[in-house]
Amino acid sequence: MKRVIITGADGFVGSNTVQCFLDNGIEVLAMDIVQTPNRLKPQPGLTYKCVDISDVDQLKKAISDFEYDTFIHFAWAGSAGPQRADYNLQLQNALNTVECMKVAKQQGCSRFVCAGSIMEREVEAAVHTQGSRPGMGYIYGMGKHIAHCLCKSVAADIGIDLLWPMITNAYGVGELSPRFVNTTLRKIISKEPLQFTAGTQNYDFVYVTDVARAFYAVARDGMPFKEYIIGSGNARPLKGFIIEMQQALAPDVEPQFGDVPFTGTNLPLAAFDTSDIEKDCGFKPSVGFAEGTRMTMEWLKTQ
């Protein structure tokens, strides 16, 4: 790799991935929909362009100045909040992803790396279970899964290497969303009671700089048409992560677990297996959960 394109580059995971590539001496064309980036800072090797990826002509024009070898796709509207249940938006995201891959091929890229999600596997389990009634919260994952299916066929047809890293749960410094880790850390900071459900569902978390390193490793060494799980390599029931966080950050507070069982789709631990990304790409995470949540909490205190 010498030059890469990264969409969604000013987002939480995207911006960390841009920095990882720059740190490894790769030139980056970073694209996002905001006129002025909030997370990215000017530095050697970085070119930033405001691009609406749903406009194919605009996308082609933005990347016509140089030749690039790899296209990394994070841009995805409605990845948090109520828009996760907007099926029109999530279907459009899937179509946009296919068009980005086609443009990547037309502009000379040999590899297309797209950010998938572990929720794709939850969707498959939920949809194909007899009598199941998946809630609207699954629609985001359905959009990712549809994008994955479409891209795999189209990539084979047009002759571009498709790589599909699937993120479990990214967290870390720089994220302000009300997702689980942030919500729990805010409770610890404000000294609220730590009350949870039974926490029996299998889960995994991975610190954002490790996610970025994983994308670099997959883009460099990943095998075409393979999925790679990006996780800690230590998936377990959610209760175990909660206890680790509590013991590290609030040892004097006793977490309270309810007796309400988890009724969603509980993936087996095998679904979180990270052996392929370690074997093919040499990737292992470097930030443990206690350390990562401590750094995140210290940052949240400043916000």
CATH entry, 176-204+236-303, from 3.10.560.10, 3.30.565.10, 3.90.25.10, 3.40.50.300 = 3.90.25.10
Q: What is the DSSP string of 169-217?
A: -EE-TT--S--HHHHHHHHHHTT---EE----SEE--EEHHHHHHHHHH
Question: Which H or E run includes 247?
Answer: helix 238-249
Beta bridge partners of 50: 32
> Six-digit token pair at 204?
């995994």
Q: Which fold has domain 3-167?
A: Rossmann fold (3.40.50)
Give all strands (DSSP E) within 94-188, no chain letters. 111-114, 116-117, 161-167, 170-171
pLDDT tens-digit profile, the chain (303 residues): 999 999 999 999 999 999 999 999 999 999 999 999 999 999 999 999 999 999 999 999 999 888 999 999 999 999 888 999 999 999 999 999 999 999 999 999 999 999 999 999 999 999 998 998 999 999 999 999 999 999 999 999 999 999 999 999 999 999 988 899 999 999 999 999 999 999 999 999 999 999 999 999 999 999 999 999 999 999 999 999 999 999 999 999 999 999 877 778 899 999 999 999 999 999 999 999 999 999 999 999 999
**pLDDT for the residue numbered 138:** 94
Map tokens 């990006």 to a residue: 230
Map tokens 């205190």 to a residue: 301
What is the pTM for the complete model shown? 0.96
- Residue ranges of the domains in the chain? 3-167, 176-204+236-303
> Six-digit token pair at 297?
């909490």
